[in-house]
Structure 1
Amino acid sequence: MREDVDMAEVIEIRATVGEQVTRDQVREWESRRATVVLRKLASHLGSRGLAELMPGRSVEALLAAPLDVQQTALTELKTGLGHAGIYAMLKRELDVSDRMARAGVALSRGRTKHSVTRLEVPGYSAERFATWFNNLVTVNNEPDMVAACPDHYLLRGLPDGRQEVVETTGGSPMPSRFLVDYTRTEALTIPVDPRYPIQIAGQAFLDDGLTIGGVRHQFLDRDGTLHTLLTVQFPATLPGRLIRQHQWHLAAEFSNWLIVAAPAAATA
Structure 2
Amino acid sequence: MTDSQALPPVIVTLESGPAAAGSIDDFELFYSRRALDRFRARLGRQGLLDLLAEDIEKGNSFLRESALASDGSFEAGTTVLTAKGLTAGEFLSWMEKAFAGDEEALLASHPEHYVMAPGADGAFNVVENIGPHVCSFFMGGWGTDAMAWAADADELLPESEFPHKMSSNLFLADGTVVGRALTQFGDTAEGFTASLTVYVPTSCPQDVLEHHLRHYAVEFRNWIDVAAAARA
- Structure 2 length as normaliser, TM-score? 0.80
* 1:151 corresponds to which of 112, 133, 149: 112
State the distance in 1 between where 2:154 and 2:227 align.
26
State the distance in 1 between where 2:177 and 2:62 align.
13
Who is 1:93 aligned against? Answer: 55
Task: Please provide the CA RMSD for this pair.
Answer: 2.2
State the distance in 2 between where 1:154 and 1:117 align.
23
Who is 1:181 aligned against? Answer: 140
Who is 2:29 aligned against? Answer: 67
CA distances 1:25-56 after superposition (whole Å, capped 9, x unpaired): xxx7xx9xxxxxxxxxxxxxxxxxxxxxxxxx
Q: Give 5+ residue unaligned stretches, structure 2.
A: 1-20
Who is 1:78 aligned against? Answer: 40
2:127 paired with 1:166: yes
CA contact (8 A) 1:185 1:203 kept: no
Percent identity at matched positions? 27
State the distance in 2 between where 1:111 and 1:229 align.
21
The offset of 1:100, in angstroms, is 1.2
Who is 1:108 aligned against? Answer: 70
CA distances 1:63-89 after superposition (whole Å, capped 9, x unpaired): xx6112211221221232122211211
State the distance in 2 between where 1:133 and 1:214 align.
19
What SS is found at the alignment partner of 1:168? strand
Aligned length: 203
2:102 paired with 1:136: no
Q: Which has the larger radius of gyration?
A: 2
Given residue 237 of structure 1, which amino acid in structure 2 is its aligned partner?
Answer: S
CA contact (8 A) 2:155 2:197 kept: no
> Are residues 107 and 166 of structure 1, via their aligned partners in 2, closer, same or farther at CA, if it must alter by over 3 Å?
same
Q: How do residues 1-268 of structure 1 correspond to structure 2 at under 5 angstroms?
A: 66-138=28-100, 140-158=101-119, 160-170=121-131, 172=132, 174-183=133-142, 184-188=146-150, 189=153, 191-194=155-158, 195-264=161-230
Q: Give 5+ residue unaligned stretches, structure 1.
A: 1-8, 10-23, 32-64
State the distance in 2 between where 1:165 and 1:199 align.
20
CA contact (8 A) 1:215 1:231 kept: yes
What SS is found at the alignment partner of 1:175? strand
The offset of 1:133, in angstroms, is 1.1
